[in-house]
Amino acid sequence: MTGPEVSPSFRLVYVPGVMPDKWVRVWNERQPDVPLTLTQAPAQPAHGMLLDGEADAGLVRLPADRTVLSAIPLYTEQTVVVIPKDHLVTAADSVTVEDLADDIVLHPDDDVLGWETLPGRPALERPATTADAIELVAAGIGVLVVPLSLARLHHRKDLTHRPLEDAPASSVGLAWPEAATTDLVEDFIGIVRGRTVNSTRGRRPQPTQEKQKKDRSAQGDGGRRRQPSAGAAGRARRGSGGGGGTAKNPRRGKPRRRS
């Protein structure tokens, strides 16, 4: 005796700063019977959830472990420096790494930029999270370099940001376990790539509403062709009967020979 059938669902993990709303909205329109579960997790735990099978796909920071994960790059973010509003560099439209030479540049443990050499002066201790680093910047204890989305996520009225030139950048991509590329994963890939519901790529296209209406109409007629009315049939017989008469010349038979 088997247990009750479990309805399918789709589990999506995403990292802070990424906004999956537009893709979730399209999913709910196309897959109303398949609920989508969202989980937000920091960059490294998000990768771990994919590897452990706790999520079907993820909007993650790249690079991903390509030995076990498939990934599609989506976009690369602008890198900015978060500073107090009274900082000297706020007078400029953009900042260079050299402009931060005299500043303490905070480097949280969850940094996603992958610096080879940090600019500025190092802090005595690394903050545990980006949120902790933001609090230190607000307290006047250094500045913080992050992708633009994280600067917006941790926005404060007493802080601002400026584009930072010559700095590493962070890319965002869609990743999923290569060995678990299911039909639902293919559906979400299509949504992220902007494919229409009837795209020939990925899963088999669904019939359009117009085609569904025509199919229902044909089923309502019992599959039979519409028969012509009695009047139309009579006119057709009169127009085609006899020995070659036409509408313009209703006389039948051959013309008489003149004597």
48-104: per-residue pLDDT in tens? 999 999 999 999 999 999 899 999 999 999 999 999 999 999 999 999 999 999 999
Ranking 45-49, 103-107, 206-210 by mean pLDDT, the lowest is: 206-210
* pLDDT at residue 7 in the model: 63
What six digits make up the tokens of 49? Answer: 């959830």
Candidates 152, 129, 138, 135; CA nearest to 78 is: 152
Residue 199: the pLDDT is 66
Pair 148, 77: CB distance under 8 Å: yes
Look at the block and give the residue holding tokens 């909205």.
25
User: Can you tell me whether residue 165 is helix, strand or coil?
Assistant: strand
The predicted-structure confidence for 148-188, as pLDDT tens digits, reads as follows 999 999 999 999 999 999 999 999 999 999 999 999 999 99
Better-scored residue on pLDDT, 200 or 143: 143
CA distances from 145 to 83, 120, 150, 155, 257 (A): 9, 11, 10, 14, 108
Q: Which residue has the higher pLDDT, 1 or 161?
A: 161
Per the CB < 8 A criterion, the answer to whether 29 and 142 are in contact is: no
CA distances to 45, 47, 62, 160, 174 from 65, rounded to whole Å, are 13, 8, 9, 34, 12
CB 191 within 8 A of CB 74: no
Distance CA 138, CA 144 (A): 10
- What is each CA distance from 209 to 195, 200, 212, 214, in whole angstroms? 17, 17, 5, 9
